[in-house]
Structure 1
Amino acid sequence: MRNNIYKIFILVLMSINAFGQSPDWSVNENSFQYTMSIEGFINVDGKTLSNVNDKVAAFVNGECRGSARLLYVPAEKKYIAYLTVFANVDSEVISFKIYDSATNSIKNVEKTKVFENNKHFGNLFQAYSFASPSLNSSAEIVDFKFKDLKVIDKTAVGSQLTLFVDKDTNVSALNGIFELSLGAKLFVGTINQVSGSNTIDFKNPVEFQVLSEDQSVLKKWTVIVKIGTAKFYKKDAVCYAGGIIKVLYDDNNATVTLSKNGKLITSQKVTNGETIFNNLEVGAYVINVGGMNKEVSIKQKN
């Protein structure tokens, strides 16, 4: 009987050594006057943790100021840590540590945060990242196009993208294919969009939100789809006759501008599907119509 008990005891010790124990991160809450709270997710080596035994803790000069385990939020289908940080003064620099139960390891979080009394950071949609190593903070749309649909032309001005498609295109149910910053996600409202597997109505401009991998940046983008595109023709200058640029465009009464060296020269309306700029000097011109820019060079022919 004693031998059996001894064997069981040895097995328990071996089990503890094999799987390790969660660190005893604790804080005497009664020793502090102030609190701030953080709603975040935990990521180690690019993997978001999802075990209720995983946890994060806050420290000031090695002193634990709060800890929290992951909790599952069924409505959002994600694991979140609700961390309360304690202090007696503002502006202390808070550092963080992660306990990864799967590997029984403790990781340091590179990012720190300054304590602010009674402040809350993060939410279920845009949570604070406790990550080792740090995650990407870019929230860019690198490329945007459509499945089974040719984009004739594309312009980008700031966070606005304009895509031109054939005039007979039905834009009420397009399947967007997009490339984002590393690890970022694209949303319409708070609904995540999957590249190549979505149906979006582009009859009007669509406002997207791009959430960076570390969820610290939420950037708004507008994608506009325009039906029809312009065609450009030119005639170089000959002897004393100036050059000519002709613009064909489906949208009558649209304004076409002509610029050179960054300065506006003139603007004209599209009439009967075209507009013509005459008597142009030699040089490089930029024509803008319907949000699309086109550079056309007039040369001198002998």
Structure 2
Amino acid sequence: MKNYIYSILILFLVNSAVFGQAPNWTVSENNFQYTMSFVGFLNSDGNALFNTNDKVAAFVNGQCRGVANLIYVASENRYYAYLTVFSNVNNENVSFKIYDSVKNVVKSVEKTINFSINEHYGNLFQAYSFASPALRSEVEILDLGFKNIVRNDIVISGSQITIYLNKGQNITALNTLFDLSPGASVYIGTVKQTSGVNSLDFTNPINFKVLSENQAIIKQWTIVVKTESENATYYKKDAVCYEGGSIKVLALLEKQEVILSILGVTLSSQIINNGQVIFDNLNEGTYKIRVGGNSKEIKINLKK
């Protein structure tokens, strides 16, 4: 009998440790005049929470002002917290706590917000982040290319990325590879893209939306793909102590843009006129000339 009682006690203690006791967060809604609301997601230690027993609560000076459990939204295949926060005055500082029901852990959210009457934050695409620790807000595309395709060059200028490919390359169904800021994700419209598992038509520029890990920031990127249109001929004149060097580019295709850069920095661009462009007054150094999808490095030496 003793062994049986001990077994039951141990089982109870184990179950208590595993399932725990959810925090008793409650709010007396009738005591308040005003509300603000959130559509949010919960994240603990870098992991998204997805149990309907997980919850978030809002507090003002330790008093609970709102609580919401996660709800599954089938159209998005995600879990959201629809949180309403109550107050009688504007600008009260509101803090948050989240409860991870699987780990039976309550964690404080570092981010706070001032109460604003009737204000709403977050939506199904860009939900408000209730996370501990805080998630990252970077939205950069660090690199971009295409699976099993040679990339001649890449130019990142502001929020535009231009990729240069070989002449004749089919660009109507490219499997795009991208490297992003940690935790960020790429969307075309509202459709999430997976690196290396897509087929995109770059006949015209495509707009990528990069959403930060905390979903607070969206950055629009324009992706342009160019293919080599024709071969060009290059000539150079080295610099001397009294005169800069020069590079001449000959190409048959009129109105084609020719870009001169050094160390990844664009110095100048010209349009082919009468079959040529000339870049003058160049200092010693290794320059890159880009015409269509083709690029070539040319070194200007200094003659003394």
By the TM > 0.5 criterion, same fold?
yes
Deviations for 1:251-271, whole angstroms, at most 9, x for unmatched residues? 4222447799x9989955244
Contact 1:287-1:295 within 8 A present in 2 as well: yes
The aligned residue for residue 218 of structure 1 is: 218
1:234 to 233, 236, 239: 236
Deviations for 1:238-290, whole angstroms, at most 9, x for unmatched residues? 79997441225574222447799x99899552444x43457x56556786766
SS of alignment partner, residue 30 of structure 2: helix
**C-alpha distance in 2, partners of 1:234/1:177?**
36
The aligned residue for residue 254 of structure 2 is: 252
**C-alpha distance in 1, partners of 2:44/2:241?**
70
CA apart distance, 1:298: 3.6
**C-alpha distance in 2, partners of 1:250/1:55?**
66
Contact 1:59-1:66 within 8 A present in 2 as well: yes
Mapped pair 1:126 → 2:129: no
Change (3 A) 1:13 1:149: closer
The aligned residue for residue 158 of structure 1 is: 158
CA apart distance, 1:93: 1.1
Change (3 A) 1:276 1:34: same
Contact 1:154-1:292 within 8 A present in 2 as well: no
TM-score w.r.t. structure 1 length? Answer: 0.85
- Where does 1:31-180 land on structure 2 (aligned, <5 Å)? 31-180=31-180
CA apart distance, 1:222: 0.5
The aligned residue for residue 269 of structure 1 is: 272
**C-alpha distance in 2, partners of 1:266/1:107?**
54
SS of alignment partner, residue 178 of structure 1: strand
- Where does 1:188-203 land on structure 2 (aligned, <5 Å)? 188-203=188-203
Deviations for 1:197-226, whole angstroms, at most 9, x for unmatched residues? 100010111000001111011111001011
TM-score w.r.t. structure 2 length? Answer: 0.84
The aligned residue for residue 184 of structure 1 is: 184
**C-alpha distance in 2, partners of 1:49/1:222?**
33
Deviations for 1:75-119, whole angstroms, at most 9, x for unmatched residues? 110000000000111111111001111011111111111111101
Contact 1:91-1:114 within 8 A present in 2 as well: yes
The aligned residue for residue 24 of structure 1 is: 24
Change (3 A) 1:33 1:240: closer
Change (3 A) 1:106 1:243: closer
Contact 1:54-1:99 within 8 A present in 2 as well: yes
Letter matched to residue 254 of structure 2: N
**C-alpha distance in 1, partners of 2:204/2:106?**
50
Change (3 A) 1:243 1:97: closer
Structure 1 gap ranges (5+):
none
* Paired residues, number: 295
Superposed CA RMSD: 3.4
SS of alignment partner, residue 21 of structure 1: coil
Letter matched to residue 269 of structure 1: I
**C-alpha distance in 1, partners of 2:244/2:295?**
22
Deviations for 1:135-189, whole angstroms, at most 9, x for unmatched residues? 1111110111111111111111111101111121111111110000101100110
Deviations for 1:9-35, whole angstroms, at most 9, x for unmatched residues? 968964763322111100000111110
- Where does 1:271-286 land on structure 2 (aligned, <5 Å)? 271-272=274-275, 274-277=276-279, 280=281, 283=284
Letter matched to residue 226 of structure 2: K
Contact 1:242-1:281 within 8 A present in 2 as well: yes
SS of alignment partner, residue 187 of structure 1: strand
**C-alpha distance in 1, partners of 2:302/2:8?**
96
Structure 2 gap ranges (5+):
none
Letter matched to residue 151 of structure 1: R
Contact 1:32-1:87 within 8 A present in 2 as well: yes
SS of alignment partner, residue 17 of structure 1: helix
